[in-house]
Amino acid sequence: MISQNQIVIKNIGKKSILADVSFLGNATNKPVVIFCHGYKGFKDWGAWNLVADYFAKEGFVFFKFNFSHNGGSIEIPIDFPDEDAFGKNTYSLELDDLNQVLNYVELNFAGSQIYVIGHSRGGGIATLVTGQDQRIAKLATWAAVSDFESRFPKGQELALWKKNGVRHVINGRTKQSLPHNYSFYEDFVKNKSRLTISKWCKEIKVPHLIVHGELDEAVPLSEAKELQKVNSGSKVFFLETNHTFNTKHPWNKQVLSNDLEIVCSETCLFFKD
């Protein structure tokens, strides 16, 4: 039977990180896969729990978490009840969150190989950390972004954001108008060297699998090719699917989509190789 245990990682001076860990039998001496969700996402989005089960059955410990300022809370981890936290989020905070998760895994699963999967924006964060942290043995990025700077507004739109101090984005599913404080942009400018994905992708010395859908409507296939270009030692796997591998939230089926099952299979083989 697969066990799934909830964990709260205390993040000194910051919001705590909610996580869960899934494994079959016991967690001793098994490689740990850390999963990083994407923008406007959370650890229980769509079919991610089924992904956890898949990897657990394949002999991994699967560790997924909510970024501390993703808009969820410890009490309500799904969707975005904490809009204030969402507005205060930055790429630097997400980078620090993943480092805190690595610290927790290193301490509590001593001796285990650590692999990381990052989806979409989480793939960008995972790429940065893998380029900067030698504790990660293998990286798989799913529909990952290749650049953060290009996603910020420019010109008059940027000036208006600075003037107002906040800009809003609509979450199409929940219909919430979610805030981004101008500090999000200021933090990127201040920490640009640390947050430039292409720079740190070049520094990755461990095996890197780049998975991307050829029909991705949110992050174009060209971004996967850019990651491959700067990390020539990476392996790519492209398939004819969309940004979330033909899944959505909520995902009420008891099985993975065919596309996501293929992605999980390829990633498992990559980790086991």
pLDDT of residue 25: 94
Q: Are 141 and 211 in contact (CB under 8 A)?
A: yes
User: 250: closest CA among 78, 46, 52, 80?
Assistant: 46
> Alpha helix locations (H) across the chain?
48-57, 83-88, 91-108, 121-132, 155-164, 183-190, 192-195, 197-201, 221-230, 258-272
Residues across the chain: 273
pLDDT of residue 12: 77
CA dihedral 42, 45, 49, 51 (to 10 degrees): -100
pLDDT of residue 164: 98
User: What does the pLDDT look like over 154-168, one tens digit per residue?
Assistant: 999 999 999 999 999
| Angstrom distances, CA of residue 51 to CA of 18, 45, 205, 245, 270 | 18, 11, 26, 12, 16
pLDDT of residue 222: 98
Q: What is the CB neighbour count within 10 angstroms for residue 33?
A: 27
The domain spans of the chain are 2-150+193-272
pLDDT tens, residue order, the chain (273 aa)? 899 999 999 987 789 999 999 999 999 999 999 999 999 999 999 999 999 999 999 999 999 999 999 999 999 999 999 999 999 999 999 999 999 999 999 999 999 999 999 999 999 999 999 999 999 999 999 999 999 999 999 999 999 999 999 999 999 999 999 999 999 999 999 999 999 999 999 999 999 999 999 999 999 999 999 999 999 999 999 999 999 999 999 999 999 999 999 999 999 999 999
> How, if at all, do strands 17-24 and 138-142 pair?
unpaired
User: 243: closest CA among 170, 126, 141, 151?
Assistant: 141
Is 171 buried (19+), middle (13-18) or exposed (0-12) by CB count in 10 A?
middle
Which pTM does this prediction carry?
0.98
Q: What is the CB neighbour count within 10 angstroms for residue 159?
A: 11
Q: Are 9 and 100 in contact (CB under 8 A)?
A: yes
d(CA 57, CA 71): 30
2-150+193-272 fold: Rossmann fold (3.40.50)
